Chains A and B, each alone.
Chain A
Amino acid sequence: MYKWFLAIRYLRTKLIAVFGIASVMLCVAMVLVVLSVMGGFLDTVRERARGLHSEIVLEAGTLQGVPYYEEFGAYLQQQLPGVVDIVTPVIYTYGIFRVPATTWTKPARVLGVHLDDYVRVNTFAGGLHYDKYYPGSSRLDPQSMPVAGVGPSGDLVLPPDLQQANASWRESEADPEALTAYDADPFVEAPYPYVTATPRSTSERVYAAEPGPPRYAGPERDGVIVGVDLLFARRTSGTFERYLARGADVALTLMPLSPAGNPMGELPSKVPLRYVDDSRTGIFEIDSLCVYVDFDMLQHRLAMDPQPLADGGMTKPRANQLLISTREGVDINEAKDQIAMAWSVYGASLGLDPDSQEARALGLAAVYTWEDMQRQFINAVEKEKVLVTFLFTLISMVAIVLVGCIFYMIVEKKTRDIGILKSIGASSLGVAGLFVVYAGAVGLVGSILGTIFGSVVVWYINDIQDFLASLHPQLRMWSPDVYSFDQIPNVVKQADAVWVASMAVLASILGSIIPARIAGRVWPVEALRYE
């Protein structure tokens, strides 16, 4: 009984316990912050990787693509109706992206997508910029340039369909802050051609447009959605410097390939396009490289649509990927196996000459899950997890040593008390137990305080960083222009908190074991000889 009694009493009356508690608290807070931020970071990365494609992907494995993708899609939906939900093809190739107004060029990975289906198999739609404020207005089909004009009441207005889209967004937007942010600077937030903004004061701008009513102008051109980092630089505030207005002329230079992979047609093929939106998946490597155009347009431009053959027949159209979304509740690894099986059964059912180009293309295609597709990326993520765990272990060691030192000091100071307890019949084990209980109590109190402190830090971490950055820009710890996240992850997982806290209690107890054993060995007479 005296163990518990004295442990609590020491905890309440000894100043040194405060140091023990403080060190455990700081360790717990530190580990919890690191774990929460890193964990949040990893979760976001994973989440985004998942949203890139679709659950399952049939990948051609070559740039020239695979035939029979359409037939196979239909076959899948007929054979595995309980597994397969939406099937949509993608073409990808590489090209040179150019903004003629600036003579500025960049390499680009060009994706041809059926936008309506594409946004249903992944999270692409959530990363579109103009489409947020003007829902449904980002299309890839040929279109003219939207031009703002002066409305009846003298303000700047857009063509009616865009006005309407914007109004529908305003009605449905749940976040009032998003509305205020947009209203503060609508044409800077989402620029349109010929609108110039002159600051009248720091809080107000005046917009001017070309004379005339709102309208669509210029030739119709195929739309292109551009990865945001490919076009714009990111500010430290996390927003983008949008110098290009919606509808601006841009161009892509492409290189068509024959089914065998040889360059073909008139080389190279230059495609004028209209910038309709920009996309942000949150993964820099993608957003700084990818542009999205209409599937049929790209297929045609790359000569992957049916081509006449010498014998009078036509080639089969080709695509590079077939994105397959699964139905809810389906295990995606099982689905992958089923679809892979279906692919080989389907290929065999075609009865192609095994040496033919088509048969070889079919043989090169393979089925992957989204995780397989992002294997490299996810592996890197998992490596970081290992790193975090390693750091965590290291920190725990520090905590153990720290607690050990503090308890060693406590034992030194309490030798006389130990002698007294032994002289009235306490056992070595009992005295050692006293210090273990004491350490456990220090660990417990420290853990609880540390969990609270750490959680508060995590919850307010973005405010803390804003405050630090306001003191000195160098103190900004998270730069949104480097990471693709605007904000430092600020969620504490309950399981993490419980785990960290209990590890800290355990570490405290572990740290006290050596000092406790020393205490247990104290020879009563030695401890009591002198005042």
Chain B
Amino acid sequence: MLRARGLHKSYRMGRSHVHVLRGASLDVGRGEFLVIRGASGSGKSTLLHLLGALDIPDRGSVEFEGTDLFDRGDAIRRAYRRRSIGFVFQFYHLLPECNVLENVLMPRLVAHSLLGWRSARRTARRDAATILERVGLSERSKHRPSELSGGERQRVAIARAIVNDPVVLLADEPTGNLDARIGGEILELLTELNEAGQTVIMVTHDDKVASRAHRRVQLTEGIIKEMDGSGGDAASARRIIKEVAP
């Protein structure tokens, strides 16, 4: 379903270049819970951004259901971000001026024009309420992000990521800023979502967190390596790992 091939990405740091991804390839199937592991600074976020079409690779391709995300204009990537993926960031990234409900509704607002919103409003509000219920924040829908704890904020971020019913949920160290217990709850939530059929790709550098996944891959030196002893036999049946020579 999601297929990355030979991704290269480097950043310029003054005069020198940091070659972060050096031909990373990855395939993800529907319903999978994939964890990408890697040391801090190994390029996990960079990879996830490419998978979410938030950034453009120097070389290589990402195909979503057979469509290359980078060989044409921005419109495809925009539609992909809007409809097919949900992104959860390590630092929550909620809009501080909007309350919980409004933050969750924001992807819907983005998807509708001023006129279209009139007809879409009722369903959108109902969906948002259902999702807030699901992440356990019904009581706090009128609160501002600044009034919430870290765990609650991350729940809002997850609710926002899934409100448009995306095919893939991309989570970049969603527990990175939370203590173990709260982080565990977030993982619980992601697991529940996965069990309900949501494809999840999560990035972490925490081995304990990684143990949740069906399947784990390791990002080292800019390429993806399948990890031995990946949990879940179902996952191994689906696994497709390829290394493409740079």
The verdict on A426 contacting chain B, using a C-beta distance below 8 Å, is yes
Min CB–CB distance A178 → chain B (angstroms)? 59
A-B contact pairs, 20 of them (CB 8 A): A2-B110, A5-B102, A6-B95, A6-B97, A9-B102, A10-B97, A417-B96, A420-B93, A420-B106, A422-B54, A422-B81, A423-B52, A423-B54, A423-B87, A423-B93, A425-B79, A425-B81, A425-B107, A425-B111, A528-B91
The verdict on B112 contacting chain A, using a C-beta distance below 8 Å, is yes
| Complex contact B160–A424 (CB within 8 A) | yes
The verdict on A102 contacting chain B, using a C-beta distance below 8 Å, is no
Q: 0/1 per residue, A396-425, Cβ < 8 Å to B? A: 000000000000000000001101111111
| Complex contact A14–B97 (CB within 8 A) | yes
The segment from B61-69, B113-121, B128-136, B235-243 found at the interface with A is B113-121
Nearest to A425 among chain B residues (CB) is B82
Min CB–CB distance B2 → chain A (angstroms)? 17
A1/B113 contact (C-beta < 8 A), A9-B98, A424-B106 known: yes
Within 8 A of B (CB), among A509-531: 523-525, 528-531
Interface residues of B (CB under 8 A from A): 45, 49, 52, 54-55, 74, 78-79, 81-83, 87, 89, 91, 93-98, 102, 106-107, 109-114, 116-117, 160
| Complex contact B113–A424 (CB within 8 A) | no
| Complex contact B107–A424 (CB within 8 A) | yes
In the bound assembly, the distance between CA atoms of A422 and B95 in angstroms comes to 12
In the bound assembly, the distance between CA atoms of A417 and B45 in angstroms comes to 19
In the bound assembly, the distance between CA atoms of A6 and B97 in angstroms comes to 8
| Complex contact B83–A425 (CB within 8 A) | yes
In the bound assembly, the distance between CA atoms of A419 and B91 in angstroms comes to 13
| Complex contact A4–B114 (CB within 8 A) | yes
A427/B113 contact (C-beta < 8 A), A13-B97, A419-B93, A420-B95 known: no
Min CB–CB distance B136 → chain A (angstroms)? 22
The verdict on A317 contacting chain B, using a C-beta distance below 8 Å, is no
Nearest to A424 among chain B residues (CB) is B107
Number of interface residues of A (CB under 8 A): 30
**8 Å CB contact of A426 from B89, B96, B110:** B110
Min CB–CB distance A59 → chain B (angstroms)? 65
The verdict on A238 contacting chain B, using a C-beta distance below 8 Å, is no
In the bound assembly, the distance between CA atoms of A5 and B121 in angstroms comes to 13
Contacts A6-B98, A425-B82 known; list 6 others, CB within 8 Å.
A420-B106, A424-B81, A424-B160, A425-B81, A427-B74, A529-B45
Q: Which residues of A contact B95 (CB under 8 A)?
A: 6, 417, 420
Min CB–CB distance B45 → chain A (angstroms)? 7
| Complex contact A423–B81 (CB within 8 A) | yes
The verdict on A61 contacting chain B, using a C-beta distance below 8 Å, is no
The verdict on A430 contacting chain B, using a C-beta distance below 8 Å, is yes
| Complex contact A525–B81 (CB within 8 A) | no
Q: Which residues of B contact A424 (CB under 8 A)?
A: 81-82, 87, 106-107, 110, 160
| Complex contact A528–B89 (CB within 8 A) | yes
Nearest to A530 among chain B residues (CB) is B91
Q: Which residues of A contact B78 (CB under 8 A)?
A: 425-427
In the bound assembly, the distance between CA atoms of A6 and B74 in angstroms comes to 23
A2/B106 contact (C-beta < 8 A), A419-B93, A420-B93, A427-B78 known: yes
Q: Which residues of B contact A419 (CB under 8 A)?
A: 93
Min CB–CB distance A6 → chain B (angstroms)? 8
In the bound assembly, the distance between CA atoms of A250 and B171 in angstroms comes to 102
A528/B110 contact (C-beta < 8 A), A416-B93, A424-B81 known: no
In the bound assembly, the distance between CA atoms of A428 and B78 in angstroms comes to 10
| Complex contact B97–A9 (CB within 8 A) | yes
